[in-house]
Structure 1
Amino acid sequence: MSLFRKTIYIATAFIAPGFYGAQYAFFAQPVADAISTIVALSLFFLVFNKYLEKRLQE
């Protein structure tokens, strides 16, 4: 997850200034954190639900 977050950060840091101006490069970290949080929560609930279903069947 850390590598994913850093990849999103670097991509956003290079892409955002091209579209919105140099001052928006400072928003790269919060955007990367938000995206990685959404992905991590999605993966957690997918895996956790499968684990709970397996446990309930036992």
Structure 2
Amino acid sequence: MNRIHVQIDELYRQLGRLKSLAWYMDEDIEQSERALKRLALVWDGAAADDFL
């Protein structure tokens, strides 16, 4: 019975790590999206300047 409890505890620890990793990945994705949007705005501005 004790072995089962140890395995369950380990699974909970791993789940916690996965949740943390997922949160960091979400943050990275959001930051990447914001960076791409800023780059697109700068690119659009540079392209507009080329036509003026």
TM-score (structure 2 length as normaliser): 0.60
Q: Give the superposed CA RMSD.
A: 1.4
The runs of 5 or more residues in structure 2 that have no matched partner are 1-7, 47-52
2:30 aligns with 42
Q: Kindly, what percent of the aligned residue pairs are identical?
A: 5
- Greater RCO between the two (CA within 8 Å, min separation 6)? 1
TM-score (structure 1 length as normaliser): 0.55
After the TM superposition, list the runs of 4 or more consecutive aligned residues in structure 1 that deviate by more than 4 angstroms.
none
